[in-house]
Amino acid sequence: MLERLPYEAMILDLDGVLTDTRSLHFKAWQQTYQKFIDHEDSLANFSEKDYQRYVDGKPREEGIKSFLQSRGLSFSTEKIQEIGTEKNLIYQNLLHMEGPNVFTDALEAIEHWRSLGISIAVISSSQNCKLILREAGIADLFDACVDGEEGKILAMKGKPEPDYFLEAAKRIGKKPDECAIVEDSISGIMAGRKAHFKGVIGVSRKGQTPAENLYSCGADTVVSSLLEIGQVPNALVAWEDFKSRIGERDLALFIDFDGTLADIVSEPKNARIKESVRQTLEKCSKALKMAVISGRDRLDVKKLVGIDSLFYAGCHGFDMSGPGCFHYQVDEAQKILPQLEEATLATASALAGVKGIIIERKRYTTAVHYRMVTDTDESYIKDKVYRILDGFPRLKAKEGKKVIELFPDLDWDKGKATRKLCEILDVNPTQTVAIYIGDDLTDEDAFTELRGKGIGIKVDVTGTRPTKADYLLKDPGEVERFLNLLAFSYTGEEKRWRVGL
The pairing of strands 455-459 and 471-473 is parallel
Angle at 56 between CA 34 and CA 48, to 5 degrees: 50
Residues 6 or more apart whose CB falls under 8 angstroms from that of 307 comprise 278, 281, 282, 285
Cα atoms in the 13 Å half-sphere on the side-chain side of 381: 28
- The helix (run of H) or strand (run of E) holding residue 49 is helix 48-50
Angle between helices 77-98 and 22-34 (to 10 degrees): 130
Distance CA 283, CA 295 (A): 24
Q: Could you say which DSSP state residue 8 is in? A: S
Distance CA 71, CA 33 (A): 12
207 φψ region: left (φ > 0), alpha (ψ -120 to 50), beta (else) = left
The radius of gyration of the chain from alpha carbons, rounded to an integer in Å, stands at 27
CB distance 230 to 1 below 8 Å = yes
Closest CA to 143 of 321, 333, 8: 8
* CB atoms near residue 42 (< 10 Å): 13
Closest CA to 256 of 432, 466, 431, 460: 460
The pairing of strands 432-438 and 250-255 is parallel
Distance CA 83, CA 95 (A): 18
- The helix (run of H) or strand (run of E) holding residue 171 is helix 163-171
CB distance 447 to 456 below 8 Å = yes
**Residues annotated as catalytic (active site), given as ranges:** 256
The pairing of strands 366-369 and 9-13 is unpaired
- The helix (run of H) or strand (run of E) holding residue 313 is strand 311-314
Our measurement of the distance from residue 308's CA atom to the centroid of its chain's CA atoms, rounded to an integer in Å, reads 31
